[in-house]
Amino acid sequence: EAGVAQSPRYKIIEKRQSVAFWCNPISGHATLYWYQQILGQGPKLLIQFQNNGVVDDSQLPKDRFSAERLKGVDSTLKIQPAKLEDSAVYLCASSVGVYQETQYFGPGTRLLVL
Amino acid sequence: GENVEQHPSTLSVQEGDSAVIKCTYSDSASNYFPWYKQELGKRPQLIIDIRSNVGEKKDQRIAVTLNKTAKHFSLHITETQPEDSAVYFCAARLGGGADGLTFGKGTHLIIQP
């Protein structure tokens, strides 16, 4: 079974620039999550989708972050404009359903904002 | 706000000894508690999980215990091996509903040869 795919793996940008990350969950997984992992910390949930609807985006900084999952499969996370403190690994995870708890993580996108 | 506290932040044990990592959570409605292992530069990997209707679960050298009354859960690794060296994260599904996971800050486990 193929795992969660993410791209790009690495991205370096300057502050105030925009960046987008892509995630393809495990086939058949209805629930998709985006987490932010700052160096030395645990992952922090940014947004959760169930199919193409948002379940929870309470910790998403909506003034600069946006995410979508238009067809209920792939998802993109965008930051516009980026700040220095956005430097982190952005992890995508998926699970079979919202009440099927096991979450499988992708390899992450490592973002450095200069 | 709701959170998960994890201790210790660093744990060094001799190879073959046991390691114990402890976490506490704030929301009594929490119902799912996974543990993830993360090697440097890699994705978090689920190693064991427990649900709120169970007090203990074991998988070979790894076990997790849950005390709902005290709102804490622990990871136990016996007969530690060099490949157990990694950062371990506890997490909890707070609120008992359909929420995403809230993670602890991690424990860097070092296995001394």
Question: Residue by residue, what is the 3-state secondary structure of chain A?
Answer: CCCCEEECCEEEECCCCCEEEEEECCCCCCEEEEEEECCCCCCEEEEEEECCEEEECCCCCCCCEEEECCCCCCEEEEECCCCHHHCEEEEEEEECCCCCCCCEECCCEEEEEC
pLDDT at A10: 97
In the structure, what pLDDT confidence band is assigned to residue B9 with cuts at 50, 70 and 90? very high
Which residue, among A101, A102, A109, A110, would best test binding to B if mutated, counting the most B CBs under 10 Å from its CB?
Answer: A101
The answer on pLDDT for A34 being more than 70 is yes
Average pLDDT over residues A53-75: 93
Distance of CA A35 to the CA centre of its chain: 5
Using alpha carbons only, what angle is made at residue A62 by residues A59 and A68, rounded to the nearest 5 degrees?
90
Could A43 and B99 be called an inter-chain contact, meaning their C-beta atoms sit closer than 8 Å? no
Cβ neighbour number for residue B55 with a 10 Å cutoff: 12
Give the length of chain B.
113
pLDDT at B1: 56
Picking from A48, A98, A102, the nearest residue to B46 by CB comes out as: A102
CB A49 within 8 A of CB A32: yes
The answer on pLDDT for B49 being more than 70 is yes
Average pLDDT over residues B64-88: 96
DSSP β-bridge partners for residue B35 = B48, B90
- Tokens encoding A107: 């390899």
The answer on pLDDT for B94 being more than 90 is no
Cβ neighbour number for residue A70 with a 10 Å cutoff: 9
pLDDT at B98: 65
Q: Which residues of chain A neighbour B46 with C-beta distances below 8 Å? A: 102-104
Q: Which residues of chain B neighbour A103 with C-beta distances below 8 Å? A: 34, 46, 100-101
Cβ neighbour number for residue A57 with a 10 Å cutoff: 17
Distance between terminal CA atoms of chain B? 40
Amino acid at B13: V
Q: Tell me how far apart the alpha carbons of residues B69 and B51 are, in angstroms, rounded to a whole number.
A: 14
